[in-house]
Amino acid sequence: MGVTRVSLGRRLDVVARRLATAYGRPSRRRSDPLGGLVETVLSQNTSDVNSGRAYASLRAAFPSWEVLAAARPARIESVIRSGGLARLKSRRLKRLLAAVKRREGRYDLCCLRRLTPEQAEARLRGLPGVGPKTRACVLLFSCGHAAFPVDTHVHRVSLRLGLLPPKTDAAKAHQILGPAVPAGRHLDLHLNLIRLGREVCRARAPRCPVCPLAAGCAYARRQAA
C-alpha cells in the first residue's frame, strides 16, 4: 500500500504541474466553516450557479444562524428553491444546525481551524447530510486543511486517467486520492481538475485532442484508436 501511495503521489504531482502550466494555480478566499458547510450542503446534486443563488437567498432572508435554525422548514424551502431539492435540503439544514448547536454549544465551527486535519474531519463525522465530499470541502475551503474533495468531475477525470481502479466509487476515491495528493497541491489540483472536467474531459463528447493530460491518459489513447 505504501509503494502504491508513493507511485500515485508522483502521478498526481505530474498532473498538478501540467494543469498548473495550462490553467495556473487558482486560489479561493476562505469562508466561515459553518457557512461553508451550509453552502456545500446546498450544492449537493445541483450546479454551482443554482447553489450559489440559493445560498445568497438564504443569507439575505435569515440574518443569523439562530434565525435560520428557528425558521419553519416550509419557509426555508421557499427561500432555497432555486437550488433544487429544496424540501429535502430545508429539513437537512434544520437537523444540521441542531446537531452543531448540540455538539458545540453554539452555531460555530471555527474550532475546526485549530484542529489537525484528522481531528477536524472526525469532528464533522456523523453530522446529518455531511458525507466525505462535504467534509473535505469544508476542511479545504474553510479551514485550509490538506483535504481533497472528489466531486463528479474529479472522479470522472481520475478514472479516465487511471489514477483509480475501474469502477471505484466516490467514497473509495476519497480514501485513495486524498492521502496521496502532494503537500501544498490540494487546492489547485482540485480546482484545476474540476475545470478540466467541465471544459475538456466532459462526460459526453470529451475533447481529448486539446487536453493537457492527453499524453499520459489511457482513455485518450483509446479514443484516438
Label each residue of the chain as H, E or C: CHHHHHHHHHHHHHHHHHHHHHHCCCCCCCCCHHHHHHHHHHCCCCCHHHHHHHHHHHHHHCCCHHHHHHCCHHHHHHHCHHHCCHHHHHHHHHHHHHHHHHHHCCCCCHHHHHCCHHHHHHHHCCCCCCCHHHHHHHHHHHCCCCCCCCCHHHHHHHHHHCCCCCCCCHHHHHHHHHHHCCCCCHHHHHHHHHHHHHHCCCCCCCCHHHCCCHHHCHHHHHHHC
Dihedral, 186, 187, 192, 193 alpha carbons, nearest 10:
50
CA distance to 2, 38, 76, 93, per residue, from 82 (Å): 45, 15, 12, 15
Torsion region of 223: left, alpha or beta (phi above 0 gives left; psi -120 to 50 gives alpha): alpha
Mean pLDDT value of segment 173-185: 96
What's the chain's average pLDDT?
94
Position 29 scores a pLDDT of 86
CB atoms within 10 A of CB 8: 17
Contacting residues for 117 by C-beta, under 8 A, at least 6 apart: 139, 145, 146, 147
Q: How confident is the model at residue 2 (pLDDT cuts 50, 70, 90)?
A: very low
Query: In angstroms, how far is the first alpha carbon of the chain from the final one?
Result: 33
| pLDDT beyond 90 at 5 | no
C-alpha span between 112 and 126 (Å, rounded): 15
- pLDDT, one tens digit per residue, over 15-39 is 999 999 999 999 888 889 999 999 9
Task: Record the cell numbers describing residue 141, joined without a space.
Answer: 475551503
| pLDDT beyond 50 at 46 | yes
| pLDDT beyond 80 at 3 | no
What are the structural domains of the chain? 2-27+149-224 (1.10.1670.10), 33-142 (1.10.340.30)
Among the listed residues 94, 133, 167, 172, the single catalytic one is: 133
| pLDDT beyond 90 at 136 | yes
Position 45 scores a pLDDT of 87
C-alpha span between 98 and 105 (Å, rounded): 10
Told to judge if 133 belongs to the known catalytic residues of this protein, a careful annotator would answer: yes
